[in-house]
Amino acid sequence: MTEPTTTGPGAASVLEQVLGDLEAESAALAARLVPLADDAGGWRRPTPAPGWDVATQVGHLTWTDDVAALAARAAAGDAAAWDAVVTDALGDPDGFVDAAALAAGDRPATEVLARWETARADLAAALRALPGGTRMPWFGPPMSATSMATARFMETWTHAHDVREALGAAPEPTDRIRHVAHLGVRTRGFAFAAHGRPVPEAEVRVELVAPSGARWTWGPEDAEQRVTGPAYDFCLRVTQRRPRSALALVATGDVAEAWLDVAQCFAGPPGAGSGARA
């Protein structure tokens, strides 16, 4: 399975598909969080991300959705608010994400949840309003509306995973994770570069089994380099939520082996391994 193009006549429908899955994933996490609003112990329970409790995880999602909406509006010509965010980030490039997440999460639970709901809706509206083919600024390369929605899905799914682990809840895999898997495949070159390693030229065939049992594929069928296994395990690896040794992924070839060692689909410097932040 490959993702359709994100420019041209079909771009709007692809964006709607990703936004629909993003809202479904967000709603599933919100349903788990609402009962914690009156449980200070649960709301402040530490998660696998060092220094972040459940409230910080939600605060981070809220802040990032807010900022992504500003970036979308900057692409549409209203750049003042986005420029202010970039200026603040330049003042503390190593700590601004942590600071923003901690500040956004340091509020009553009901307020944080309400702000996140508003931020999600605001971002979806801003992305839908972007003209086709428009690329929006970000802290890395500029992104299309669909790419941003996919990135927001990846982060939402990843932080929902951290929250579930903090609460001792069982995973609930759905085929919505295809967006995370796709991003993981697309960022193979970035992962090597982020680790200071040359990007191999060899193509890699990826064959994953979805939670539904469907088969998802990327890359040439005749590629010698191959990665196979459960899609859920692949998503845990590319978001660095699990070490390779804990996953049922099979790499064939030296490039595929090396890729699974450095796999990373989130922006920024190399993560610290299991529990690293997206």
Residue 131 DSSP class: P
Domain ranges of the chain: 11-147, 178-262
Q: What angle do CA 46, 237, 266 make, to 5 degrees?
A: 75
Model confidence band, residue 1 (pLDDT cutoffs 50, 70, 90): very low
Mapped onto helix, strand or coil, the DSSP state of residue 217 is: strand
| Helix/strand/coil for 77 | coil
Range 4-17 average pLDDT = 64
Beta bridge partners of 228: 207, 250
The region that residue 268 occupies, defined by phi over 0 for left and psi between -120 and 50 for alpha, beta otherwise, is left
Mean pLDDT score, 247-266: 97
- pLDDT tens-digit series, residues 177-224: 999 999 999 999 999 999 999 999 999 999 999 999 999 999 999 999
Beta carbons of 53 and 59 less than 8 angstroms apart:
no
Mean per-residue pLDDT, 77-103: 93
**Taking 60 as the threshold, does the pLDDT of residue 3 lie above it?**
no
CA distance 45 to 163: 9
State the residue for tokens 């995880």: 57
The string of pLDDT tens digits covering residues 37-64 is: 888 789 999 999 999 999 999 999 999 9
What's the gap between Cα 177 and its chain centre? 10
Instruction: Report the C-alpha gap between 34 and 23 in whole angstroms.
Output: 16
pTM above 0.85, yes or no: yes
What are 140's two structure tokens? Answer: 């890395």
* CATH superfamily entry for domain 178-262: SCP2 sterol-binding domain (3.30.1050.10)
Distance of CA 170 to the CA centre of its chain: 20
**pLDDT at residue number 258:** 97
The CATH code that applies to domain 11-147 is 1.20.120
Look at residue 210 in the predicted model and tell me its pLDDT. 98
